[in-house]
Structure 1
Amino acid sequence: MSGSSGSFTVAIDIGGTLTDCVVLDEAGGVTATKSFSTPDDLTRGVPDDLTRGVLDVLLLAAQQHGRSLREFLQDTRFFIHGTTITTNALLEGKGARVGLLTTRGHEDVIPIGRVNQKVAGLSERQVTRGAFLDKPDPPIIDPLLIRGVSERIDCDGEVVVPVNWEEVEESLDELLRAEIEALAVCFLWSFINPDHERAVRDFLRRRAPGLYVTLSSELAPVLGEYERAVTAVLSAYLGPSISKYLGGLEGALQKDGFTGPVLLLQAGGGLTTPRDACERPLVTLDSGPVGGILGAKFFADYYGERNVLCTDVGGTSFDVGVIRDGEVLLQRAPVARQYTYLSPKVAIRTVGAGGGSIAWVDLLGILRVGPQSAGAVPGPACYDRGGENATVTDASLLLGHLNPDYFLGGRKKLNLEKARQVLRALGEKLNMDEVQVARGILTILDAQMSDLIRRSTIEQGVDPREFVLFAYGGAGPLHAASYGRALGVKGIYVLRHAAVFSAFGMLTASHVHFAETSVPGPLPWTEREFSRVKEALGNLEADLRRRFDQEGVAWSQVKLKGSVTVRYRMQVHEVEVPMELKNLTFSRGEDLVSDFERRYRVLYGEGTGYREAGIEMVGLRLIGSHETVRPNLIPAEESGKESKEAPLKARRPMYFEAAGEFVDAPVFDGEKFEVGHQVSGPCAVERVSDTVLIPPGAIGEVDRFLNLKISFA
């Protein structure tokens, strides 16, 4: 895929509080800016997420480069976007009204939900305290909109019962009268033989040409009827929203002079086209934090770090991802609103803990933080936008960690007195003063974040002390030293573009497509099974070739990576094992068994394997990737100055738990940092978009990429 002849590549990430924009120029240089998100505002007829905040941040980026918005977009080669349309539609229950056609007798597959649906995605606390949960969300599909039709294909792909077209027509008429906006089709064994599903789609196109239709055989051609049905229904639920949005987005950009391609960040890592996202909307679901993981992988490769904890502290949430043995971990079957679906997704854990998290007192008189957030509007009380709740940002401001006159580089003034008022009011409920409340808020927040990291590592059989930690997000630099120290990590990197790092990470992403299929059989392979594997790989490769060809990408420029899912026979837990595709031979089956058992031990502990049960292959996956454009990471040169004294900007009182009191601490100008500059805690480093807090006993050093590495004495 080629972009326009422009000079710039633009990446925009919409957060719950702020919208970030990063611009890559022809020389590989990177500039960044951000503005407040305004998710309820519609501008120029573009629905939902193309908000005034996005247009504001584009205008700011244009001004940084001395251009008008039109001139800037005319000189832009690629527009890369991390959209929250599908995520918001699912969370808010604002998807399409969906109908489902399935094999007669299997209408209750989704309502039954393998039973596990009742607890899927819930924390242990939520499961054990089920009586205290809010009422469950309404189902993604009304059971009254599910219709069974007579048809049957067996497990060998042979037609047992042909499609009863009278039943299909009658079901369609009933569903259209019920005013459905989209229709999902999921028949038994359609992933082996999709002919019935495709024939029904052809019929639907003739009878209801404007209806959005999804097929399970195309979206999830693998074993697992419940998961395939959910994937088809969720895609139908979200498809109309993102189709409308992307059409409006492309139109608005073209109206302002943009002529290049729009690319979207996928939840599985990598970029895709609007066409693919409209056909497979789940590839964008929960894709927001993925950019940061990709950016972390980009820097980790430069540093030679193979084990990295990726931590993103934003305004509304804290996200954790893991890079292990140099690879970003993927989930094959993620969960959304307690529904398990089949679409690759980077493994990220999230907790409602960020700069905008609201502090409150529960019925037992205990201080809590989050998961509710003040967002951008009204925002924390110190934003002076009408917020009346104490938040993490208010606490940080009161304790001197933030400069009220230099938020967003001075573009936004923070109201210290408003922060003091809401913290004092909260303290009255706890018999505490405002400083004690602020300290409590930050202590609780840091504990929540370090606990999430432990669960993201220890539960996967790895020790966080063997990892380095990358900190980013607007609030990440403020808290990284605290939660990093609690974990005992080898080192902490506060990245130069931390506040806009998810947008930066989009610039490092490749254009990616995934293809997978079920190939159940024993491991090690028999001759017959190996023949089936080669045939299946050939079919997956043909599918990827077709999709890249549709998007103008030469197959010779596509890199392939393969994997196989393996499990002990009679178990439900599967492990994904990388598979070398070049010179794949029959004997490779033995190596896959060894790799599987090693990975299984890492995940579940020594002695948990049970080879006597037998080992079986479940499915195959191919990932095709094509590099689009990447930043040119050029190490900064040392200044050559004899003095390595960091540029002092000011001093101010700051509270540090390690000191137990307010300390008159130095504040350094991070925008003037050069390679080799060192600072010792307690201190703060102010940059245009964030503030790095360095506690007593810690040392910060600027490396060759102008990232700040924090270590402890």
Structure 2
Amino acid sequence: MKPNALRIGIDVGGTFTDAVAIDAGTLRLIGQTKVPTSHDHPDGVAHGIVIALHDLLASVGRSAEDVVFLAHGTTQATNALLEGDVAPVGLIGIGTGLSGSFVKRLRSLGKIEITEGKKLPIVFEHLREADDGPAIEGILDRFAASGIASVVVTEPFSVDDALGEDAVAAAARRRGFLVTSTHDITSLYGLSKRTRTAVLNAVILPKMFATADLVQSSIDAAGITAPLMVMRCDGGVMSLDEMRRRPLLTVLSGPAAGVAGALMQEKVSDGIFLETGGTSTDISVIRRGKVAVKYTDFGGSSTFLSALDVRTVGVGGDRWSGFDSTARER
């Protein structure tokens, strides 16, 4: 390992952007900085990331060439769901006969409250056959006319045979839509739960796709060429390209990173972990040196999003919201 090698972590929160530097050889914390998250800047949150990186490198006397690894965490997906700051979604259900009856029931997903007084913004369309080109184009025309940019494609048993979802998804991508196919989100059975999970991914996809571009541009502007990894809600990491495809995996990634730090640095074996940010507060429990991982609940319905068992509450505003990761099978 080269001398002066650094590992850097950046967390973009609703209020502050934090950056820390760790010696890559000893894993010792050698510097940290905090700047306001630059929501209102023309360059968005990218500006705050650049400022934080420059301040951090200057404070430890290192250069961008010394950075060998960069980890990025963000609460934007969590905050978007807590605050209802989401995009409308076009939901295409594929099927005839009994399958058609099942997919038509998915209209009811629009009844799920994403936050108090605001429901999931879903426009449902039924497609009988996945190879019906004119019907597909008609649906996409109606979505475009409604200002919809994000589309979910769902079909019963697509985890076994994804050809139908793939064909419709390809047509939507050719038209410039951001697309989530349910079999790309999870390989588990359960049409309704799989589709709910895909819809949650889709409602934050436009915002998080733009965020990924901003993050990459800020890293490039800072002169850092080290690989960039993004925190996942289960405590792992993923590439920025994967975040562009499945941003839902970053929901609750903030507490995942915090708990990981407590386990590694503080050697916590049993306790309650509380992390309060500018927009939300996360609460989790450590038992026997581990944090439980469960499927998340959203709007009173379970999903296939596997994350740490965390309760997140929206505080500091004029309302209270909740995102409960405790699974309830239905």
TM-score class, shorter: 0.7 to 0.9
Q: Residue 605 of structure 1 corresponds to which residue in structure 2? A: none
Higher strand share: 2
User: In the alignment, does 2:185 pair up with 1:219?
Assistant: yes
Deviation per residue, 1:450-487 (Å, 9 max, x gap):
xxxxx99xxx9xxxxxxxxxxxxxxxxxxxxxxxxxxx
> Structure 1 pair 350/139, CA: closer, same or farther in 2 (3 Å)?
closer
2:303 to 341, 347, 365: 341
> Which deviations, in whole Å up to 9, do the C-alpha atoms of 1:497-539 show, x marking residues without a partner?
xxxxxxxxxxxxxxxxxxxxxxxxxxxxxxxxxxxxxxxxxxx
> Which residue number in structure 2 is paired with residue 322 of structure 1?
285
What residue in structure 2 maps to residue 73 of structure 1? Answer: 64
Structure 1 pair 105/312, CA: closer, same or farther in 2 (3 Å)? same
In 1, Cα distance between the equivalents of 2:37 and 2:149? Answer: 28
Say if 2:119 is the partner of 1:138.
yes
- Contact 1:230–1:341 (CA under 8 A) maintained in structure 2: yes
Taking the aligned partners of 2:246 and 2:133, their CA distance within structure 1 comes to: 27
Larger CA Rg, structure 1 vs 2: 1
Which one of 82, 92, 96 corresponds to residue 101 of structure 1?
92
Please say if residues 4 and 78 of structure 1, whose CA atoms lie closer than 8 Å, have aligned partners that are also in contact. Answer: no
* Structure-2 residue corresponding to 1:199: 167
SS in 1 for 2:118: coil
Distance apart, 1:230 and its partner CA: 1.6
Aligned to 1:552: none
Residue 339 of structure 1 deviates from its aligned partner by: 5.3
Measure, in 1, the Cα distance between the counterparts of 2:121 and 2:304: 16
Q: SS at 1:32's partner residue? A: strand
Residues 1:311 and 2:274 aligned together: yes
2:82/2:314 contact within 8 Å kept: no
Q: State whether residues 7 and 67 of structure 2, in contact with CA within 8 Å, keep that contact through their aligned partners in structure 1.
A: yes
In 2: Cα distance, 1:223 partner to 1:347 partner: 22
Task: Report the equivalent of 2:150.
Answer: 182
Is 1:238 the equivalent of 2:233? no
Find the counterpart in structure 2 of residue 150 from structure 1: 128
Q: Could you tell me whether the CA contact under 8 Å between 2:149 and 2:177 is conserved in 1?
A: yes
* Match of residue 224, structure 2, among 258, 262, 272: 258
Distance 1:267 1:5 in 2: 33
Retained in 1: the 8 A contact 2:65–2:225?
yes
Shift of 1:102: 0.2
Partner of 2:36 in structure 1? 37
Where structure 2 has 5 or more consecutive residues not aligned to the other structure, the ranges are: 95-99
Number of aligned residues: 321
Contact between 2:104 and 2:126, CA under 8 Å: does it hold in 1? Answer: no
Is residue 4 of structure 2 the alignment partner of residue 12 of structure 1?
no
Structure 2 residue identity aligned to 1:32:
G
Residues 246-291 of structure 1: per-residue CA shift (max 9 Å, x gap):
1222122212211111111111111110011111111012322221
SS at match of 1:268: coil
TM-score of the aligned structures, taking structure 1 as reference length: 0.41
SS at match of 1:190: coil
Q: CA deviation at 1:19?
A: 2.7
Distance 1:323 1:177, change over 3 A: same
Q: Cα distance, 1:241 vs. partner?
A: 1.8
Deviations 1:198-232 (CA, angstroms, capped at 9, x unpaired): 122233344x1x22111001112212222211222
Query: Secondary structure at 1:222's aligned position in 2?
Result: coil
In structure 2, distance between residues paired with 1:573 and 1:257: 47
SS at match of 1:180: coil
1:138 deviates by: 3.4
**1:171 CA drift (Å):** 1.8
Structure-2 separation of matches of 1:19 and 1:337: 29
1:228 to 187, 191, 194: 194
One-letter code of the match for 1:7? A
Q: Is the 8 A contact 1:6 1:75 kept in 2?
A: yes
Q: Pick one of 24, 29, 45 that aligns with 1:26.
A: 24
Shift in CA distance, 87/50, structure 1 to aligned 2, threshold 3 Å? farther
Shift of 1:167: 2.5
Give the C-alpha shift of residue 107 in structure 1: 5.3
- Show structure 1 runs of 5+ residues with no match: 123-133, 152-161, 359-369, 373-454, 461-564, 566-571, 575-713
Change (3 A) 1:273 1:205: same
SS in 1 for 2:253: coil
Q: Cα deviation per residue 1:573-597 (whole Å; 9 max; x = unaligned)?
A: 49xxxxxxxxxxxxxxxxxxxxxxx
Displacement after TM superposition at 1:5 (Å):
9.3
Q: Residues 171 and 371 from structure 1, CA distance in 2 versus in 1: closer, same or farther, beyond 3 angstroms?
A: closer
| Residues 657-682 of structure 1: CA deviation (Å, up to 9, x unaligned) | xxxxxxxxxxxxxxxxxxxxxxxxxx
1:299 maps to 2:294 = no
1:112 and 2:108 aligned:
yes
Q: Contact (CA 8 Å) 2:30, 2:60: kept in 1 or not?
A: no
Name the TM-score, length of structure 2 as normaliser. 0.83
Counting aligned pairs with the same residue, the percent is: 26
Instruction: Check whether the contact 1:81–1:265 (CA below 8 A) recurs between aligned residues.
Output: yes
Post-superposition Cα deviations, 1:613-639, rounded to whole Å, max 9, x if no partner, equal xxxxxxxxxxxxxxxxxxxxxxxxxxx
CA contact (8 A) 1:306 1:326 kept: yes
- Corresponding residue SS for 1:230: helix
Greater RCO, 1 or 2 (C-alpha within 8 Å, sep 6+):
2
Structure 2 counterpart of 1:691: none
Question: 2:97 maps to which residue?
Answer: none
Cα RMSD (Å) of the superposition? 3.3
Q: What residue is the counterpart of 1:61 in the other structure?
A: 56
3-state SS of paired residue (2:161): coil
SS in 2 for 1:341: strand
Asked if 2 retains the 8 angstrom alpha-carbon contact of 1:214 and 1:232, the reply is yes
CA shift, 1:242, in A, is 1.6
Deviation at 1:20, TM superposition (A): 2.1
